[in-house]
């Protein structure tokens, strides 16, 4: 095996393939990264841990086709620190040599014949713009659970009905959901699966900007999802598809509706959170034209700040964990947000207020598709 490749191209491909490499592999061979080049000038790098596979494909100047398995994390560290010059990679005896300008490294090869076969993704279900998909995943994944003893809560629920896709996460105390439009290969396609949130977030973030993303999903018997775009591909095992009926919980009868500008609200919450300890909530008191933001830690410190807001309905005094508020507001990409309340002890719904268009006669979009439902903290006084 011998090839030459652009340093940045190689670094990006290695970084993608390295994302699946386990820190403590069940088998030594799973710590390896598979490098393969063909006579047609195609370079592929892959990593696999039996749960998730990552596959990167790029072009290279190939002098001799072949394949080799090398320690993946070490290769990633090396390539990330190479100078900005073309990289030559070739086998020499039992080593894979990586040479870049004056720097040369030799990596001992691993038995490539022992490496497991990478899974083939299911059939393609449809495509979606990569930037839209990445933004939607980033909006919902902060609400995913972290408790691995409840696998369902650590995933992103993906529901598809025709050209509509919903993404949702919950940790039982909040729900983040996003509705968006995509292009299915079959207009009648439907699916409901749960994908590990950490895997999906890493994948969506790393796919090249501007590339369309293809989503591969099969029938009910399939246990894999495939996501690919811009020469990058990931497959992941699906989690149990049992999930709460989150969409029914995002509707309700609201007795108070407040609108507030997002940027100053976020900054005020961050300031108030400075005096809170773990588990201490931020208190929000909405009246007709303002919100009063308060927090305190016993007698040692307190914060009190007021902002302009517009409230329709009953005045309300409600409290939330500050990080829950900030996570929800981070998903709002418009100037103003809407908070809908059904009382101080019931879950509140956060959505975006569509920005007004430059043309005053043009109607604003009715819904940005993002919904964030959070349980409040019960006030004791």
Rounded to two decimals, what is the model's pTM?
Answer: 0.89
Token digits of residue 348: 């509140």
The DSSP annotation for 1-17 comes to -EEEE-HHHHHHHHHHH
- Sign of the torsion angle spanned by Cα atoms 236, 242, 243, 248: positive
Q: How far apart are CA 72 and CA 189, in angstroms?
A: 38
The three-point CA angle 355-290-340 to 5° equals: 60
The three-point CA angle 188-207-119 to 5° equals: 65
Q: How far apart are CA 228 and CA 225, in angstroms?
A: 10
What pLDDT, in 10s, does the model give residues 164-194? 999 999 999 999 999 999 999 999 999 999 9
Q: Of 358 and 293, which is predicted with more confidence?
A: 293
Token digits of residue 118: 């990478």
What pLDDT, in 10s, does the model give residues 292-329? 999 987 777 889 999 999 999 999 999 999 999 999 99
DSSP secondary structure code for residue 218 in this structure: -
**Average pLDDT of the segment spanning 39-51:** 95
Residues whose CB falls within 8 Å of the CB of residue 140, separated by 6 or more in sequence, listed in order: 156, 167, 168, 169, 176, 177, 178, 331
Q: How far apart are CA 20 and CA 52, in angstroms?
A: 6
**Average pLDDT of the segment spanning 99-106:** 96
Distance of CA 203 to the CA centre of its chain: 7
Mean pLDDT over the full length of the chain: 92
What pLDDT does residue 353 have?
94
- Whether the pLDDT of residue 362 is over 70: the answer is no
Please report how the helices 262-273 and 322-330 are oriented relative to each other, as an axis angle in degrees rounded to 10. 150
What pLDDT, in 10s, does the model give residues 117-143? 999 889 999 999 999 999 999 999 999
């Amino acid at each position: 095996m011998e090839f030459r490749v652009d340093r940045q191209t190689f670094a990006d491909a290695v970084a993608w393939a390295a994302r699946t490499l386990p820190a403590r592999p069940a088998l030594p061979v799973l710590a390896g990264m598979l490098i393969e080049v063909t006579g047609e000038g195609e370079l592929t790098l892959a990593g696999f841990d039996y749960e998730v596979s990552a596959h990167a494909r790029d072009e290279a100047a190939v002098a001799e086709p072949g394949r080799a398995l090398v320690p993946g994390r070490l290769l990633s560290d090396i390539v990330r620190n190479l100078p900005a010059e073309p990289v030559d990679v070739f086998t020499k005896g039992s080593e894979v040599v990586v040479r870049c300008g004056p720097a040369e490294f030799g990596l001992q090869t691993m038995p490539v014949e022992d490496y497991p076969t990478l899974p083939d993704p299911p059939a393609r279900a449809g495509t979606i713009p990569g930037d839209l998909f990445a933004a939607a995943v980033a909006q919902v994944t902060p609400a995913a659970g972290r408790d691995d003893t409840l696998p369902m809560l650590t995933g992103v629920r993906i529901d598809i009905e025709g050209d509509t896709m919903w993404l949702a996460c919950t940790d039982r105390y909040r729900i983040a959901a996003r509705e968006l439009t995509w292009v299915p290969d079959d207009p009648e396609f439907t699916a409901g699966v749960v994908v590990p949130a950490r895997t999906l977030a890493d994948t969506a973030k790393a796919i090249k900007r501007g590339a369309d993303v293809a989503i591969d999903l099969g029938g009910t018997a399939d246990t894999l999802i495939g996501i690919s775009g811009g020469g990058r591909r990931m497959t992941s095992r699906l989690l149990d598809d049992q999930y709460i009926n989150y969409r029914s919980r995002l509707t309700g009868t609201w007795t108070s509706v407040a609108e507030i500008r997002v940027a100053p609200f976020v900054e005020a919450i961050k300031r108030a959170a400075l005096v809170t300890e773990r588990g201490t909530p931020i208190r929000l008191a909405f009246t007709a034209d303002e919100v009063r933001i308060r927090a305190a830690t016993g007698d040692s410190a307190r914060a009190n700040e007021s902002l302009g807001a517009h409230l329709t309905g009953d005045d309300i005094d409600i409290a939330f964990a500050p990080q829950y508020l900030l996570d929800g507001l981070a998903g709002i990409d418009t100037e103003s947000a809407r908070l809908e309340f059904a009382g101080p002890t019931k879950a509140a719904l956060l959505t975006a207020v569509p920005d007004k268009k430059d043309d005053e006669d043009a109607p604003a979009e009715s819904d940005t598709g993002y919904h964030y439902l959070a349980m409040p903290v019960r006030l004791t006084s």
